[in-house]
Structure 1
């Protein structure tokens, strides 16, 4: 069964979040990211990208995303994280290699959709090969139409976008590389709590 969705902006007093999901995600498909400034809830979209969503859930359940840096953050564009190989700030963090690693699991085939990259959209990072997504993902600060149909959309921020906005920005001259980056303190699936 294919779920239909409608783009409906939702405004909150603390900030603006958006949702391309008609209803809030069930706990099994809600990714919770604890940041030092607060909690971000992401509605995962298995209807758009079942393999990618399953991978994110598996890595979250394994604790692989805990303490992983936001290694590339570009103001007005996006915040990238999820390098479980070189981005763990408590075990093996390598600022020179952060953003080049992956998990021990195989890369995933692209699951591109017509869902646009808007503020709050979560997409999978990849190399030039469209079938090279693995563990890294990014959260959009603003719309980016040039990504539409070329990167896999895995979800949307449901709550806590104001905390995403506070993530330390990187150096524009270094493609957004962040010196002393912020991290995902803890990442889990809501159904597991």
Structure 2
């Protein structure tokens, strides 16, 4: 038992040394890490992995779509002669893809965020895994804009889609109530 405890202590010491080395290496990228931390779901370690994999110079990628394609979270369409075939995302950078997956899973847990609303909206039509990849794509596009243009992440809110097209939201709510057996009469509040 003592041998195991000593081994655990040795591993903890090595982990502290590695964490110090990482902190020293990431010190010059502190501002970029803080900017990435404003995106829901991205913590300190995830931001460090993202910066380690793509860097902070976005001149390497022509636009956000090129970065998303390189990361392997670009939506695909495989259609020929009117027939749709299976289209999947390609591997991309495995470490970046794992970090984006972690960020997306964290982002959908923030119930009052645009990313969670996007996930819930796509989940109904496309399923869980495709909705998660769509959230990953949204996150990597936001990262490109943060690093390329120095923009800040703007949280659009969970009701962004409803505010964007109020008539569609109203008709969707009426149809849902009618489907449940209610008769709906709309009166404006003024």
Q: TM-score w.r.t. structure 2 length?
A: 0.33
More strand by share: 1
Question: Structure with the greater relative contact order (CA < 8 A, sep ≥ 6): 1 or 2?
Answer: 1
More helix by share: 2
Q: TM-score w.r.t. structure 1 length?
A: 0.33
Question: Larger Rg: 1 or 2?
Answer: 2
